[in-house]
Structure 1
């Protein structure tokens, strides 16, 4: 795999024909690599009768159901090479996914996140307001996507302030001091959707407080199921957050612990975008054949970056609609889509933004 080539370009610079050709090549090569280095994956390919050495198109790359990462320890490197284990947080009593990272894979994923982030809010280091507790980062060897998100976006930061205490209480004194210090600066704000809603927005609303964050850029993801159950739409979320902070630049993103770094950011047109580090296919629930654009199906995510574990082609438990490719009005190349919800009968997964306290 030529990772220098994968990481060298801009995140939304590949058109359909070139990207399809490269992803078919990269993902075929990764499939063979994981076949040779991960025994459970090799057994799966044998069971699926996937022949070795076959050049495959994207749609032919074998998919791992995302639930397998909860039930099996899948790695394609020796255990001694694993320096970090990612987990997807689960609600009480649920199994969590374990993703095993070596230094190379972690580096590739961090580079992807940095490149995607820079495309949306520039390369300048910004004051960073984290809507979470610093306790999330206590275990550096075993931590969740929640902690990984904080660490990942912290590469854009010049100074960090955590808005919540260890007890998930809003630390108004610390936040106001931080905003006073950087009142004329652009500020990057990051958090998981449900935590922002429950522990930040609601705390401000109850106290009748408003923060001066009109120069802020809010990046958030995950937890929509909980908000939808409370009849909170994306539009209302943005409106309510703006009402207590003044933030008008709010970007949702779609991502998961199983492919950390390869996030799908929401553009100003309201669409989620695949980058050069990832791609998306939607599949029909009846026979798993690929959907047409505009047709709702189960989301499959692909990425050439996972090398320490076989996470390059994953069938999620989410449904979505691919709207188009290379022609979003925001100007970014690649597929763009919307997530419509969870598939029926899927186990309710504990999002990495869920705080059980």
Structure 2
């Protein structure tokens, strides 16, 4: 059902490929973005500088996308503006031309085929259709749902138009499709607080399901539910065993870091990598030491989002020693005193 996809490169080969590509992107954005050019000048990163390792490349804090217009295409070529799900009124804005939007969708598809395969499975969305009604810029939550819907068919929604649970809709979906493979997608907090609770209440068998979920761990931590318990309780109470968490952000939309089959960590696609930095010295930390997550991707070309310092804490668990090649890591939470955000963390607070 699944296929090799884009989680194939051992770490040494990955770095040999990524370094020249990211150097080229740095010069591309320097040439096409005046804002980025000024930032590099302020950091004393001059044109033609020789970057010998990924860690030497200039990174931008993701917060800059909330305060600056960072794009590397003319305003008239902007096809879509993606916005993050910040809760304080400040949101990131990411500018895509048509080529960038298409590249993001291709990259997402290649990553998802690793676990989903090429067949479009019946799909259960732990969402409401109401979240998709946005005529302008796409918030991260809606963009994530729309991006995933293309991998399924005969879509059913766990939540009704008022964003309340709709057990009849889920029961009807399972009656039609529950006896053979089907796909489930949702943001982590909603999957736990809505689908898991409903499945346990109604005794639903989800053993043929494949769950893809992301974001919202802060609320689950508040409930003392970690990734291991999440997986174990879904398996024991609903029969659902095929579960893949993923990590991504609007500032690098299309680049997803996907959990391996055994749940041993998140993995980088072949066109991306992750570093963990000390929050004081900014040095790159070794395996096992937690710090601030830095993400690198060759995907962003219409805006300078190819090397970003996130507002998340994480830790690398190992390199070339897990389900798939490359670095495997976990996200531990938000950096203290940064704005809590996340697609499902912005969900209306009716469920407690």
State if a TM-score over 0.5 links the two structures: yes
Give the aligned partner of residue 55 of structure 1: 50
Residue 213 (1) aligns with residue 206 (2):
yes
Residue 287 (1) aligns with residue 278 (2):
no
- Structure 1 alignment gaps of length 5 or more: 1-8
Q: Is the 8 A contact 2:66 2:91 kept in 1?
A: yes
Give the aligned partner of residue 68 of structure 2: 72
Q: Is the 8 A contact 1:84 1:140 kept in 2?
A: no
Q: Sort the Cα spacing of 1:239 and 1:327 in 2 relative to 1 into closer, same or farther, 3 A.
A: closer
Residue 236 (1) aligns with residue 232 (2):
no
Separation in structure 2 between the aligned mates of residue 339 and residue 160 of structure 1, nearest angstrom = 30
Kindly tell me the number of residue pairs found equivalent between the two proteins: 343
Give the aligned partner of residue 135 of structure 1: 130
Give the aligned partner of residue 16 of structure 2: 21
What's the CA shift string for 1:108-155, capped at 9, x where partnerless? 111111111111122111001100011222225411222222222222
Residue 352 (1) aligns with residue 352 (2):
no
Give the aligned partner of residue 83 of structure 2: 87
Give the aligned partner of residue 31 of structure 1: 26
Separation in structure 2 between the aligned mates of residue 123 and residue 227 of structure 1, nearest angstrom = 32
Q: Is the 8 A contact 1:25 1:55 kept in 2?
A: no
- Structure 2 alignment gaps of length 5 or more: none
Q: Which moved more, 1:72-81 or 1:219-228?
A: 72-81
What's the CA shift string for 1:205-254, capped at 9, x where partnerless? 5xx32223210011111111111012122222234434553312121111
Q: Is the 8 A contact 1:168 1:199 kept in 2?
A: no
Q: Sort the Cα spacing of 1:241 and 1:13 in 2 relative to 1 into closer, same or farther, 3 A.
A: closer
Residue 125 (1) aligns with residue 120 (2):
yes
Separation in structure 2 between the aligned mates of residue 25 and residue 10 of structure 1, nearest angstrom = 22
For normalisation by structure 1, the TM-score amounts to 0.91
Separation in structure 2 between the aligned mates of residue 267 and residue 88 of structure 1, nearest angstrom = 26
Q: Sort the Cα spacing of 1:142 and 1:194 in 2 relative to 1 into closer, same or farther, 3 A.
A: same
What's the CA shift string for 1:79-117, capped at 9, x where partnerless? 2211111111122x3311111111111111111111111
Give the aligned partner of residue 343 of structure 1: 335
Shift of 1:20: 1.0
Residue 147 (1) aligns with residue 142 (2):
yes
- 1:301 pairs, out of 291, 295, 303, with 295
Separation in structure 2 between the aligned mates of residue 55 and residue 125 of structure 1, nearest angstrom = 45
Q: Sort the Cα spacing of 1:281 and 1:320 in 2 relative to 1 into closer, same or farther, 3 A.
A: same
Give the aligned partner of residue 5 of structure 1: none
Separation in structure 2 between the aligned mates of residue 349 and residue 310 of structure 1, nearest angstrom = 23
Q: Is the 8 A contact 2:84 2:93 kept in 1?
A: yes
Superposed CA RMSD:
1.8
Q: Is the 8 A contact 1:323 1:336 kept in 2?
A: yes
- 1:261 pairs, out of 254, 258, 267, with 254
Shift of 1:15: 2.4
Q: Which moved more, 1:220-229 or 1:195-204?
A: 195-204
For normalisation by structure 2, the TM-score amounts to 0.92
What's the CA shift string for 1:303-341, capped at 9, x where partnerless? 00001111001101111111222221x2x2221111222
Map residues 104-183 of structure 1 onto 2, 5 A cutoff: 104-139=99-134, 141-183=136-178
Q: Sort the Cα spacing of 1:269 and 1:183 in 2 relative to 1 into closer, same or farther, 3 A.
A: closer
Separation in structure 1 between the aligned mates of residue 237 and residue 96 of structure 2, nearest angstrom = 39
Q: Is the 8 A contact 1:209 1:244 kept in 2?
A: no
